[in-house]
Amino acid sequence: MTIYSLYIYDRHCTCVYYQDWHRSKPPRPSVEGGILPAVSHQVNPIRPDETTVAGPTYTNPRNTLTSMSGVVVAVNDDTPAPSATTQPAPPQSGLTFDEEAKLVYGVVLSLRNMIKKLSGKDEQFVNYRTSSYKLHLFETLSGYKFVMLSDPNTDSLRFVLRQIYAGPFLEYVVRNPLVSMDSKERGIDNEYFRTSTDRMIRGLSVFQ
């Protein structure tokens, strides 16, 4: 029983945040211009002059040497990840991240619309399950869509997504002077939001 990844989309249908915990293949960095800046350091388009990860390293199971326990290590770490040069990179997924994000959003939107047409506007799309994952959706009235992928045997994680919204999102995104909500040019990634959602997810009983 575990949680794979989290995507957040705003009402302009763009991905504004991405975080993952377990993935079979790490996401490929997106092409230049494919995603907004400030979505995630992991999937930011790599410019040709950058050889090491420019931003601060976040705890991520793919990074070697960081803690594999549930406790979030203090984020005072500005050294670039050594894994870029010390070991061969694991095989990456076939799609770049921006395509992957758009596909996920497309699936969610089409299913939502189909369900509303079939059963009326009081029905809500909650989650769907395949043989290898389960996708949960929580949508806010303001149009933000929280999408979470977990393993197929999990119960509905809507309450988790609602907790993320009521907790870290309202605290460190809405109330953060440096994050512009509803901008069409930037995502909402920032350090406090990332560490607090990480801490919240790792503290759940369904995780690991």
Partner 1 sequence: MNVPAATSSLSPAILALAEPPARLIDTPAMDYFLIEVVNALRESSAVAVARTKKLEQEMVDAGLLPPPGPSAVAGASAASKRDSSFRDSIGSGISRSESAQGKSLVDDEEEGVRQRLEAIGMHVGANIAERLCHDRSLFTDTLDAVKFVCKDLWSACWDKQVDNLRTNHRGVYVLQDNAFKPITRLSTWEGRADGIRRAKLYVAMPGGIIRGALARLGFQAAVIPEITQLPQCTFQVKLPKG
Cα–Cα separations (whole angstroms), residue 47 to 28, 54, 168, 190 = 14, 10, 31, 21
Tokens in use for 110?
């089409």
Q: How far is the CB of 97 from partner 1 (least distance, A)?
A: 16
Cβ neighbours for 59, distance < 8 A, ≥ 6 positions apart: 66, 67, 72, 73, 75, 198
Residue 176, interface with partner 1 (CB under 8 A)? yes
Out of 48, 88, 94, 177, the residue judged to bind partner 1 by CB under 8 A:
177
Residue 91, interface with partner 1 (CB under 8 A)? no
Stretch that binds partner 1, among 8-16, 108-116, 148-156, 186-194 (CB under 8 A): 186-194
- Distance CA(91)–CA(182), nearest Å, equals 35
Q: How far is the CB of 190 from partner 1 (least distance, A)?
A: 4
Residue 172, interface with partner 1 (CB under 8 A)? yes
Q: How far is the CB of 85 from partner 1 (least distance, A)?
A: 21
Q: Which of 112, 199, 183, 182 is nearest to 147 (CA)?
A: 112
Residue 189, interface with partner 1 (CB under 8 A)? yes
Stretch that binds partner 1, among 4-12, 111-119, 149-157, 171-179 (CB under 8 A): 171-179
Stretch that binds partner 1, among 23-31, 36-44, 113-121, 136-144 (CB under 8 A): 36-44
Out of 140, 163, 183, 190, the residue judged to bind partner 1 by CB under 8 A:
190
- Asked whether 17 and 203 are in contact (CB, 8 A), the reply is no
Q: Which is nearer to partner 1, 112 or 186 (CB)?
A: 186
Residue 187, interface with partner 1 (CB under 8 A)? yes
Cβ neighbours for 139, distance < 8 A, ≥ 6 positions apart: 112, 124, 145, 146
- Distance CA(49)–CA(146), nearest Å, equals 34
Question: Which of positions 38-67 make contact with partner 1 (CB under 8 A)?
Answer: 38, 41, 55-56
- Distance CA(14)–CA(22), nearest Å, equals 23
Sign of CA dihedral 149, 154, 157, 163: negative
Name the residues that contact partner 1, by CB under 8 A. Answer: 37-38, 41, 55-56, 76, 78, 170-172, 174-179, 187, 189-193
